Amino acid sequence: MISCKDIADTILDYLEDELDPERRARLEVHLNRCPPCINFLKTYQKVTTVSRKVLKDKAPPALFGRVMDFLREELDAASPHTKQERRGEGT
Ligand SMILES: [Zn+2]
Protein backbone atom coordinates (compact mmCIF):
# COMPACT_ATOMS: atom_id res chain seq x y z
CA MET A 1 0.00 0.00 0.00
CA ILE A 2 1.39 3.38 -0.90
CA SER A 3 1.14 6.41 1.35
CA CYS A 4 0.25 10.06 0.82
CA LYS A 5 3.96 10.82 0.90
CA ASP A 6 4.46 8.47 -2.04
CA ILE A 7 1.80 10.39 -3.92
CA ALA A 8 3.66 13.64 -3.35
CA ASP A 9 6.91 12.02 -4.48
CA THR A 10 5.55 10.47 -7.66
CA ILE A 11 2.81 12.85 -8.71
CA LEU A 12 4.91 14.62 -11.30
CA ASP A 13 5.93 11.33 -12.90
CA TYR A 14 2.27 10.36 -12.86
CA LEU A 15 1.26 13.52 -14.67
CA GLU A 16 4.15 13.11 -17.12
CA ASP A 17 2.99 9.53 -17.69
CA GLU A 18 6.38 8.14 -16.72
CA LEU A 19 5.28 5.61 -14.12
CA ASP A 20 5.26 1.92 -14.90
CA PRO A 21 1.72 0.48 -15.14
CA GLU A 22 1.83 -1.30 -11.78
CA ARG A 23 2.93 1.76 -9.85
CA ARG A 24 0.46 3.90 -11.73
CA ALA A 25 -2.38 1.53 -10.85
CA ARG A 26 -1.48 1.54 -7.16
CA LEU A 27 -1.30 5.32 -7.19
CA GLU A 28 -4.78 5.49 -8.73
CA VAL A 29 -6.16 3.12 -6.10
CA HIS A 30 -4.86 5.47 -3.41
CA LEU A 31 -6.29 8.51 -5.20
CA ASN A 32 -9.72 6.91 -5.32
CA ARG A 33 -9.71 6.60 -1.55
CA CYS A 34 -8.00 9.81 -0.55
CA PRO A 35 -9.74 13.13 -1.33
CA PRO A 36 -6.81 15.29 -0.07
CA CYS A 37 -4.55 13.59 -2.60
CA ILE A 38 -7.05 14.24 -5.37
CA ASN A 39 -7.04 17.92 -4.46
CA PHE A 40 -3.28 17.87 -4.45
CA LEU A 41 -3.26 16.21 -7.87
CA LYS A 42 -5.67 18.78 -9.29
CA THR A 43 -3.61 21.68 -7.98
CA TYR A 44 -0.44 20.14 -9.36
CA GLN A 45 -2.09 19.51 -12.70
CA LYS A 46 -3.27 23.08 -12.99
CA VAL A 47 0.11 24.54 -12.13
CA THR A 48 2.07 22.26 -14.44
CA THR A 49 -0.33 22.77 -17.34
CA VAL A 50 -0.17 26.54 -17.04
CA SER A 51 3.62 26.61 -16.68
CA ARG A 52 4.06 24.35 -19.64
CA LYS A 53 1.87 26.54 -21.77
CA VAL A 54 3.76 29.65 -20.74
CA LEU A 55 7.25 28.16 -20.99
CA LYS A 56 6.96 25.83 -23.93
CA ASP A 57 7.54 28.31 -26.73
CA LYS A 58 10.01 30.55 -25.02
CA ALA A 59 12.07 28.55 -22.55
CA PRO A 60 14.87 26.10 -23.35
CA PRO A 61 14.34 22.58 -21.95
CA ALA A 62 16.96 23.06 -19.23
CA LEU A 63 15.12 26.08 -17.87
CA PHE A 64 11.82 24.27 -18.10
CA GLY A 65 13.27 21.42 -16.04
CA ARG A 66 14.48 23.84 -13.39
CA VAL A 67 11.10 25.53 -13.18
CA MET A 68 9.42 22.14 -12.80
CA ASP A 69 11.84 21.23 -9.99
CA PHE A 70 11.05 24.52 -8.31
CA LEU A 71 7.32 23.94 -8.61
CA ARG A 72 7.68 20.43 -7.25
CA GLU A 73 9.45 21.74 -4.18
CA GLU A 74 6.93 24.51 -3.67
CA LEU A 75 3.98 22.17 -4.00
CA ASP A 76 5.53 19.53 -1.77
CA ALA A 77 6.08 22.18 0.87
CA ALA A 78 2.46 23.28 0.51
CA SER A 79 1.10 19.75 0.74
CA PRO A 80 -0.58 18.87 4.03
CA HIS A 81 0.80 15.36 3.55
CA THR A 82 4.38 16.51 3.92
CA LYS A 83 3.61 18.12 7.26
CA GLN A 84 1.76 15.06 8.51
CA GLU A 85 4.71 12.86 7.64
CA ARG A 86 7.13 15.14 9.45
CA ARG A 87 5.06 15.08 12.64
CA GLY A 88 5.23 11.31 12.71
CA GLU A 89 8.95 11.08 12.14
CA GLY A 90 11.67 10.63 14.70
CA THR A 91 10.02 8.09 16.94
ZN1 LIG B 1 -3.44 10.39 0.22
51-86: pLDDT as tens digits: 777 776 666 777 777 877 887 787 777 776 655 555
CA distances from 75 to 29, 43, 48, 82 (A): 22, 9, 11, 10
CB 45 within 8 A of CB 65: no
Confidence grade of residue 26 (pLDDT, cut at 50, 70, 90) = very high
Residues with beta carbon < 5 A to ion ligand 1?
Answer: 4, 34, 37
- Distance from Cα 54 to the centre of ligand 1, integer Å: 29
> What's the total number of domains in the chain?
1
Q: Which domain holds residue 68?
A: 4-88
Predicted TM-score of the model (pTM): 0.59
